[in-house]
Amino acid sequence: MSNQQNNATKSLNDSWLTIKLLAKAEPAFTEAAIRNQVFNAAPRTSSKGTIKGNGLAPHIRRVGSKVLINHGGYLSWIAGGEK
């Protein structure tokens, strides 16, 4: 693999996108679908007990009210079908 291809892959894996930008980059997923995935990312408790997360949590960062998702991590999560 050439350096240019390595840099392109590295920049994809290192890029943090907002939900809106991620939906534009990955048109198979709507903003609403990605927001649902973010909501269900981490385990949480309800009146019926603990609800397992979907495994996306390690690829999400919250900076103030902004939610950022690692693009490469999101793609690997989709490809791996992590739960």
The C-alpha atoms of residue 62 and residue 51 are separated, in whole angstroms, by 21
Rounded to the nearest angstrom, the gap between the alpha carbon of residue 16 and the centroid of all alpha carbons in its chain is: 9
Q: Which pLDDT belongs to residue 13?
A: 64
3-state DSSP percent of the chain in helix, strand and coil, to 5: 50, 20, 30
List the end-to-end C-alpha distance of the chain, in Å, as a whole number. 31
Could you read off the pLDDT of 42-81 as tens digits, one per residue?
999 999 999 999 999 999 999 999 999 999 999 999 998 6
The C-alpha atoms of residue 2 and residue 22 are separated, in whole angstroms, by 26
pTM, two decimal places: 0.78
